[in-house]
């Protein structure tokens, strides 16, 4: 049977905040489907903090010793926080940031920890084995000491990146948006630095500062979580900063001149009408590196190359649908002439862009 103590006001608050934290974490993590990587990695961090708050509630309620307790606390591996923060910083500061599959290796230690902890828990519970990972020195170092020093390393990189960005923004003609982004990131830097300091004091020196950490985590979940959910653009790299970073990275090219060539290629020559148009083909036509063209589009138009091409195709299809001279053509014919290679992709992209199916406009 599951027997819990009667909750006092503090424990009720902890439970309510934990519930909101879980919902916020799921909402933030779902941003991966909208390719908002900064918000996604914030979601990972928020999830671990939520598990920590919920664990505090569980300890106050003696939940861990309950017969039917689910070991949710084992999911909150501290080893997740350093790499999540690292990628959060990169997603906020690198216009060309792409999360690569090999980067998943940084989360492998956390997955191993969770798997071993779960195995140990259920083995002791079901098979009555005597695994005691808490007293294992190697395990303690891996799961408690390593994450702290990993955080220190990430924070050093974070600080260097902030200083580098400050120097870049300082040289920009338009500094407002750039400074605004640096100030936002500085808030995160300060919060995580304070948390890491107290974390270090607890882990290495056994200082009793749990209450302070508890308050910081509660404030973090309320403030940062809601910002990430209701205003995800808060974490977007300002365009002025993105364009400047691209200009600094490719000083041999004139962005304005190359943008004019790119625009002419799409608007005048209608290169987008070629089915399966690739970035390589466009870059070759312009005589530019593929990476530069990709970053140019992403920085100045805030979309990917594919989205950029599809925006022209949808516009072209709209014009053809509304053209009386095209009334005798089917939607498939119009889609093909606009550059789409199938009716299904045309329908999906068209609806994602305009909010309505192409047939809606055809029947008007």
DSSP state string for 138-176: HHHIIIIIHHHHHHHHHHHHHHHHHHHHHHHHHTSS--H
pLDDT in tens, 127-179: 888 888 888 889 989 998 999 999 999 999 999 988 887 776 665 544 455 56
Q: Is 234 within 8 Å of 227 (Cβ atoms)? A: yes
Decide: residue 5, CB within 10 A, 0-12 exposed, 13-18 middle, 19+ buried.
exposed
pLDDT of 197 higher than 80 = yes
Domain ranges within the chain, ordered by starting residue? 9-238, 250-362
Most confident region among 18-22, 310-314, 358-362 by mean pLDDT: 310-314
Question: Residue 107 has what pLDDT?
Answer: 95
Q: Identify the residue with better confidence: 302 or 291.
A: 291
Residue 75: pLDDT band by 50, 70, 90 thresholds?
Answer: very high
pLDDT in tens, 23-71: 888 888 888 887 778 888 988 988 998 898 888 888 888 887 777 888 9
Q: Identify the residue with better confidence: 364 or 44.
A: 44
Question: Residue 117 has what pLDDT?
Answer: 93
Superfamily of domain 250-362: Homeodomain-like (1.10.10.60)
H/E stretch holding 295 reads: helix 290-301
Question: Residue 209 has what pLDDT?
Answer: 62
DSSP character for 130? -
Residue 284: pLDDT band by 50, 70, 90 thresholds?
Answer: very high
Question: Residue 26 has what pLDDT?
Answer: 87
Residue 2: pLDDT band by 50, 70, 90 thresholds?
Answer: very low
pLDDT of 119 higher than 90 = yes
Query: Taking the complete model, does pTM exceed 0.85, yes or no?
Result: no
pLDDT, mean of residues 207-218:
72
Question: Residue 145 has what pLDDT?
Answer: 92
């Amino acid at each position: 049977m599951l027997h819990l103590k009667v909750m006092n006001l503090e424990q009720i608050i902890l439970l309510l905040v934990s519930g909101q934290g879980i919902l916020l974490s799921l909402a933030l993590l779902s941003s991966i489907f909208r390719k908002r990587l900064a918000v996604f990695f914030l979601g990972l961090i928020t999830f671990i903090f939520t598990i920590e708050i919920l664990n505090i509630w569980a300890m106050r309620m003696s939940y861990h010793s309950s017969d039917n307790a689910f070991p949710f606390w084992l999911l909150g591996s501290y080893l997740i926080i350093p790499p999540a923060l690292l990628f959060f910083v990169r997603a906020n500061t690198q216009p060309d940031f792409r999360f690569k599959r090999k980067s998943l290796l940084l989360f492998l230690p956390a997955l191993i920890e969770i798997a071993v902890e779960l195995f140990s828990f259920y083995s002791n519970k079901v098979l009555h084995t005597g695994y005691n990972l808490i007293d294992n020195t190697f395990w303690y170092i891996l799961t408690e000491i390593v994450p702290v020093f990993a955080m220190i390393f990430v924070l050093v990189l974070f600080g260097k990146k902030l200083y580098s960005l400050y120097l870049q923004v300082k040289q920009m003609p338009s500094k407002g948006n750039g400074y605004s982004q640096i100030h936002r990131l500085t808030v995160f830097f300060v919060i995580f630095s304070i948390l890491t300091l107290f974390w270090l004091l607890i882990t290495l020196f056994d200082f009793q500062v749990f209450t302070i950490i508890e308050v910081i985590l509660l404030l973090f979940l309320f403030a940062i979580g809601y910002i990430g959910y209701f205003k995800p653009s808060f974490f977007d790299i300002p365009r002025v900063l993105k364009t400047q970073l691209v200009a600094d990275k490719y000083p041999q090219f004139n962005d304005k001149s190359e943008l004019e060539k790119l625009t002419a290629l799409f608007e005048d020559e209608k290169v987008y009408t070629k089915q399966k148009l690739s970035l390589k083909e466009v870059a070759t036509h312009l005589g530019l590196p593929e990476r530069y063209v990709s970053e140019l589009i992403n920085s100045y138009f805030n979309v990917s190359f594919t989205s950029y091409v599809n925006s022209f195709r949808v516009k072209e299809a709209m014009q053809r649908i509304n053209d009386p001279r095209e009334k005798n053509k089917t939607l498939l014919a119009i889609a093909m002439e606009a550059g789409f290679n199938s009716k299904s992709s045309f329908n999906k992209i068209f609806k994602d862009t305009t909010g309505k199916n192409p047939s809606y406009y055809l029947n008007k």
